[in-house]
Each structure stands twice: as structure tokens, then as C-alpha cells.
């Protein structure tokens, strides 16, 4: 059951990645259809992260009352409706509205699915399990790039966008038939059901141990007569978690990853690759590297730990972005292979570190009673920065050029490396309840 539920929850990562990445190949065709400006192009592309801000807030409001499972059911419906509406859009405004709906689904599921996964997984596998969500994001991006490559010669951007309804329906059926998170069940007084679900997830675990796990969950969730208020996030024990998780996502976004994902073919043109098909082939190469290195991350995150990988990722990304910036000189088309190699290296370092680790940290660090709200604050910071970067990228490139833009991303990664050296914690192999004991003042 654990493998089935991990696959199911990670399917929301595929939807996330698909609906983010598919616009890369569809955007040039949409621009020709609706004759939109550079600024409008930025807003159309950034509609997804803008909607995700609202989705993260809504998920935080209802993840504890409705449960992780019901939130994911609603997300599946929104993914299906948003995909179909995108494919049927008759104008720019309708397309923006449809992508806002997709953004809401992405923002909510990006909070609920990692939470669902972290609360299902045994401590020794939690890093790999939660990283499965990030892996499926990269798979979704690759699938979208491949679909773009096949349909671009036909100009079929509507089919590109509408295809997302297929995995959405699959996820809806799967999550509808799945149990709720045992930690949510225990937190809401459904003790026997929580013990039963833990037994199904870990069939080799003695029942006495399952009962002990539920006892620990109930103890960690106990806050007296009331749930802690928002002011607890300003306490000396919780405030550092808020600052760290928000900063981790800010640095992830200002590394420029979503500029690369959303505008990959455009970046390829700046790097000296001519022709839409050639640009899409190179873009598919980026998607393949992204998937392969995320698989590597799943094997190393619980072996080498979170902290060293986080530091390595920022350092490697900074160097790679410096190479990309150098290779994008407008009068040096001969440097195109160097730029592509730099992009591959950047994607590798991001996928093994900067991609999965902020999501993993976010799902691990906050105490159970504060988890949905803490993750929401980090998610809102993530999607707000995502929106700013994606919206501003085409405008900044037009104003200052691609080399300067990627140099700025590189400087941001260098600052991120210093930040992670001083502040990144290590949570490898530690249970969520043990992590919570480090911040036990929250229940005082």
C-alpha cells in the first residue's frame, strides 16, 4: 500500500510538472494565435504561479479540517477542469482564467501532497518518499516537452494544454479510493483507523509498535484546550523554521529554475540554437537530465543527508549559471554547445538538491499542530517568487539581455550557498515526532 499511495500522491507532482512545462512549447503558437505582447506573454505564463499563491492559502485553511485526502480530491477536479478549459479557450482572457485555475490546483496539491507523503512514510525512507513528488514533477515536465515536440509541427497547442486532463482523472480515481494520512486521523480522534492504516503501510510492524506510533502522534498533537494561534510562529523555537523554509524557497526560485522550465525554447534561441524543432529537442534533453538527476537525489538524500546536498546544489548551480551567462554572448554562436552543457549542469545540480530539498524541509520541520500553516507560509513565498521571476523574465531579458539575467541568477545561488552553510539543518533518519521534540516549546 505504501508504494501505491506514494505513486498516487506523486502523480500530483506529474500534474504539477506537466501544467508548468507544457506552456514552453505551446507559448510561441499561442502568441501567434492571439497576437499578444511581451508583457501579456509574461502574465499568461505567470498565471499558474499566481493562482498557486491562492491555492497554497486555501490548502492551509482546509488541510486540517477536511484532511489531506479530500484536499487532493478537490485538486484533481480542478486539474481536469483547468486543462480542458485551457484547450477550449477562445481568447487570451479565457486562457489566463483557465491557467489560474490550474495554478490553484498546483498550489494546493504542492502543499497537501508532500504533507500526505511525509506523514505516510517511515522515517528511514521519508527523504526518498517525499522526493518522489519532486521526481514526478520532473517527469511531468519531460512528458509535456515530449508532447510539445510531437504536436508543435501541427500547431496543436490546444491538444497540448488539454492533455493534462488525462492524468487528472487517473489521480481523482486513485485518491478517492485511498485512505487518509494516519497522522491526520490520529490528530482528529480516529485512533483505531490510524493504527489500521499504519499496519497496512508497514505490514511487518508489530501492532504494539503501531500503537506506540499513534501514542506519539497524539502526544505531539496535544496542545491543551486550543490550537496554537498564529503568534506562535514568532516564538523563539518556531520563528527560525519559518525564516529558513521561506528563505529556502526564495533562493530556489531566484536561482532561475522556472525561467528555464517555462521559457526553455526561448532560452535555447538566445544560446544560439535556431529553429523551433531544434530548440524543442534541446529542451527535451533538459527534461531528461532533470528526471535522471532527480532519481539520483532519491537515492542520496537519505544517505548523504539534506545539509551537504543543499550546499553542494547552490555551489554547483552558481558555477553552471556563470558558464551559461558567458556562453550567451550575442556575437558568439560558436558557444552554443557550451551554453547547453552549462544548462545541463545547472539542471543536474538543481534536480539533485535545490529542487526536492525545500519541499522536504517544509514537510519535515514544522510540528504537527502547525504543519499546514507553516507549509502554507513557505508555499506562498515560493509561488510569489515564482510569479515574479516568470513574469519578469521576458521583460528583463528584453531590457538587459540574457547574459546579465543569468549572471544575476548565479549571484543569487552564491548567496544561497552561504545561507545554507550557516543555517541548513540536518533531519536525515529522524522521525517527525523526534524533530518536533526539538521545538517542543510550541505546545507550552
pLDDT at 441: 47
Q: Is residue 311 part of a domain?
A: yes
384 Cβ contact partners less than 8 Å away, ≥ 6 residues apart: 49, 53
Q: Answer yes or no: is 231 within a domain.
A: yes
- Give, for all 444 residues of the chain, the pLDDT tens digit: 667 767 776 788 889 889 888 887 888 888 888 887 777 777 787 888 889 899 988 888 887 788 888 999 999 999 999 999 999 998 888 999 999 999 999 999 988 887 787 777 776 777 777 777 778 888 888 898 899 888 988 889 999 999 999 999 998 998 888 878 788 888 788 888 888 887 877 777 777 877 887 877 777 666 544 566 778 888 888 888 889 999 999 999 999 887 777 666 666 666 556 656 666 777 788 888 888 988 888 788 878 888 999 999 999 999 999 998 888 877 777 777 888 888 889 999 998 999 888 988 887 888 877 777 888 888 888 889 988 888 888 888 888 888 888 899 999 999 999 999 999 888 777 776 677 776 554 444
What pLDDT does 395 receive?
81
Residue 308 lies in a domain: yes
Structural domain that includes position 246: 2-178+223-443
The confidence score (pLDDT) of residue 303 equals 82
Is residue 377 within 8 A of residue 239, CB to CB? The reply is no
Q: Are 181 and 68 in contact (CB under 8 A)?
A: yes
Confidence at residue 440, expressed as pLDDT on a 0 to 100 scale: 57
Inside any domain, residue 194: no
The answer to the question of residue 185 being in a domain is no
Residue 214 falls inside a structural domain: no
Q: Residue 87 is part of a domain; what is its CATH number?
A: 1.20.1250.20
Name the domain count of the chain: 1
pTM of the predicted model as reported, rounded to 2 decimal places: 0.75
243 Cβ contact partners less than 8 Å away, ≥ 6 residues apart: none
Amino acid at each position: 500500500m505504501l508504494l501505491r499511495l506514494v505513486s498516487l500522491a506523486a502523480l500530483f507532482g506529474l500534474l504539477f510538472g506537466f501544467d508548468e512545462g507544457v506552456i514552453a512549447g505551446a507559448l510561441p503558437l499561442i502568441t501567434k494565435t492571439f497576437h499578444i505582447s511581451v508583457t501579456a506573454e509574461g502574465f499568461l505564463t505567470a498565471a499558474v504561479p499566481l493562482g498557486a499563491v491562492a491555492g497554497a492559502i486555501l490548502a492551509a485553511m482546509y488541510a486540517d479540517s477536511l484532511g489531506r485526502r479530500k484536499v487532493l480530491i478537490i485538486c484533481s477536479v480542478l486539474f481536469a477542469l483547468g486543462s480542458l478549459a485551457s484547450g477550449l479557450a477562445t481568447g487570451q482572457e479565457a486562457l489566463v482564467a483557465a491557467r489560474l485555475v490550474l495554478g490553484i490546483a498546483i498550489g494546493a496539491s504542492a502543499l497537501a501532497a508532500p504533507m500526505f507523503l511525509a506523514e505516510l512514510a517511515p522515517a528511514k525512507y521519508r527523504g526518498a518518499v517525499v522526493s518522489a513528488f519532486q521526481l514526478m514533477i520532473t517527469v511531468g515536465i519531460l512528458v509535456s516537452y515530449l508532447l510539445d515536440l510531437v504536436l508543435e509541427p501541427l500547431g496543436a497547442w490546444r491538444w497540448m494544454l488539454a492533455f493534462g486532463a488525462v492524468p487528472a482523472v487517473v489521480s481523482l480515481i486513485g485518491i478517492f479510493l485511498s485512505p487518509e494520512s494516519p497522522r491526520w486521523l490520529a490528530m482528529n480522534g480516529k485512533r483505531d483507523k490510524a493504527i489500521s492504516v499504519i499496519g497496512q503501510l508497514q505490514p511487518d510492524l508489530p501492532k504494539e509498535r503501531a500503537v506506540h506510533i499513534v501514542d506519539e502522534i497524539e502526544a505531539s498533537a496535544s496542545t491543551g484546550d486550543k490550537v496554537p494561534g498564529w503568534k506562535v510562529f514568532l516564538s523563539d523555537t518556531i520563528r527560525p523554521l519559518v525564516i529558513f523554509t521561506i528563505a529556502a524557497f526564495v533562493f530556489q526560485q531566484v536561482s532561475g529554475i522556472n525561467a528555464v522550465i517555462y521559457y526553455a525554447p526561448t532560452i535555447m534561441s538566445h544560446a544560439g540554437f535556431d529553429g523551433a524543432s531544434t530548440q524543442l529537442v534541446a529542451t527535451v534533453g533538459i527534461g531528461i537530465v532533470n528526471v535522471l538527476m532527480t532519481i539520483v537525489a532519491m537515492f542520496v538524500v537519505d544517505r548523504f543527508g539534506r545539509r551537504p546536498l543543499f550546499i553542494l546544489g547552490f555551489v554547483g548551480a552558481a558555477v553552471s549559471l556563470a558558464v551559461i551567462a558567458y556562453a550567451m554572448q550575442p556575437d558568439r554562436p560558436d558557444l552554443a554547445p557550451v551554453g547547453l552543457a552549462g544548462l545541463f549542469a545547472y539542471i543536474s545540480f538543481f534536480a539533485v538538491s535545490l529542487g526536492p530539498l525545500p519541499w522536504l524541509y517544509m514537510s519535515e520541520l514544522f510540528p504537527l499542530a502547525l504543519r499546514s500553516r507553516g507549509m502554507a507560509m513557505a508555499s506562498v513565498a515560493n509561488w510569489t517568487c515564482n510569479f515574479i521571476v516568470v513574469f519578469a523574465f521576458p521583460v528583463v531579458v528584453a531590457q538587459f539581455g540574457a547574459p546579465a539575467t543569468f549572471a544575476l541568477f548565479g549571484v543569487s545561488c552564491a548567496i544561497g550557498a552561504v545561507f545554507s552553510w550557516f543555517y541548513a539543518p540536518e533531519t536525515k533518519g529522524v522521525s517527525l515526532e523526534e524533530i518536533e521534540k526539538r521545538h517542543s516549546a510550541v505546545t507550552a
